[in-house]
Amino acid sequence: MWLRDDTMIYFSLAIGLILIIFLSFAIYGLWVKYIHDKTIRGFLFPGTMAHELSHAFVCLITGTTITELNLFTTDSAGIKYDKPKIPVLFDFAIAAAPLFGCAFCIFFLSKMLGNPIHFDDAFPKEIHFTLKGFFDLLRHLLDTVWGTFNSFKKEFQIKDVRHILFLVTLIIFAISIAPHKQDIKYLVLGFTIIAIILFFLDKAGIHLLKYGWWKYFIQESWQLTTTIIAALTTLLSVTLIIMGFIKAYRLTFGQKGTKK
């Protein structure tokens, strides 16, 4: 499947995951601000449950005390916990949990629906660890996201119930990845450090991609990452366009309506 310098996939995934963090955060913030709050929280409720339960699960694993867990009210769902026993490391693990939890929900429900939309998960055959290689990597990530969007547009059938369910699932759980503002610093730093560690492990001769289970995990992660980015990019674009029209309408007709 992959390139001669397999280590570049780790940097590509790290960049993709960081993009997901900022895109989901931006969309969730805009939706809550400009649409009725309870309506949005009600629509995203399944994703909110996955988000908060992912936090709770990692809290239990790391021995972090949960002081409050509220799941069943759309206006105050959330979790509170004490300071982790190992700061920064456990902070990152707890903060990153919803990303993997929500992504797993998309993966699981897609499998349950028989993978209704097929995407290209290929990685370029040759990318070198150079400055040019880094920009080639970014370009390929954008090309893959665009290809994912086009594949969805071509294959999606409005009359197919499986396609509708997959689209709704993708929207709900992709937006529900949105982290709390204070968690973003841990996520960006954490994914960057993990990519660097995996890079040096490979350079030291520990080639994890030779193991089938790890290669499968990375392959599915790559496909999920590009799919979620494509969905979030589209949603953000549509949201900004609608907001622009609404503001233009208010400026044009709202002010005129107030004149006497």
Answer whether residue 1 is part of any domain: no
Calculate ∠ Cα 115-109-238, nearest 5°.
85
- Dihedral of CA atoms 76, 82, 86, 92 in degrees, nearest 10, equals 10
Answer whether residue 237 is part of any domain: yes
Please check the confidence at residue 211 and state whether its pLDDT lies above 60: yes
Please write down the long-range contacts of 62-65, taking CB distance under 8 Å and 24 or more positions apart: 62/86, 62/90, 62/93, 62/94, 64/90, 64/94
Band of the pLDDT at 150, cuts 50, 70, 90?
confident
What number is the average pLDDT over the span 226-245?
Answer: 87
Answer whether residue 2 is part of any domain: no
Band of the pLDDT at 62, cuts 50, 70, 90?
very high
What number is the average pLDDT over the span 223-227?
Answer: 87
Answer whether residue 78 is part of any domain: yes
What number is the average pLDDT over the span 154-167?
Answer: 84
Q: Round to whole Å and give the CA distance between 20 and 33.
A: 20
Answer whether residue 3 is part of any domain: no
DSSP string, 43-100: HTHHHHHHHHHHHHHHHHHHTPPEEEEE-S-TTT-EEEEPPPSSTTHHHHHHHHHHHH
Answer whether residue 224 is part of any domain: yes
pLDDT for the residue 121? 57
Tell me the pLDDT of the chain averaged across its residues: 82
Q: Round to whole Å and give the CA distance between 36 and 42.
A: 10
pLDDT for the residue 102? 96
**Whole-prediction pTM value?**
0.84
Answer whether residue 31 is part of any domain: yes
Whether residue 92 contacts residue 187, with contact meaning beta carbons closer than 8 Å, is answered with: yes
Residue of 100, 89, 87 lying closest to 197 (CA atoms): 89
Answer whether residue 227 is part of any domain: yes
Domain that holds residue 147: 8-258
